[in-house]
Amino acid sequence: MSSNIDVTETLDVTGQNCPMPVIKTKQAADELAAGDVLEVVATDSGSMSDIAGWAGSTDGVELVDQVEGDGVYTHYVRKTE
């Protein structure tokens, strides 16, 4: 677990499958202020590549970290602008 990440908000998308985790992550990120970090908790293994791909191709957000454990995938997305 990344304890040095200051999480602003947590988004729970457990039980939801592609593309919902990414869609909900985008919606939640749109509401954040610059510098805020969104923690996304998912159970869809595809969210690892989906959220990484979305963050990599989206201006104003960066993927800080991804943690995989026990069927749960946690993503940390920072709003950069």
Q: Which residues are catalytic?
A: 18
Q: Are 26 and 13 in contact (CB under 8 A)?
A: no
Q: Which residues contact 68 (CB under 8 A, 6 or more apart)?
A: 48, 74
Distance of alpha carbon 51 from the chain centroid: 6
Name the phi and psi angles at 71, rounded to 5: 75, 5
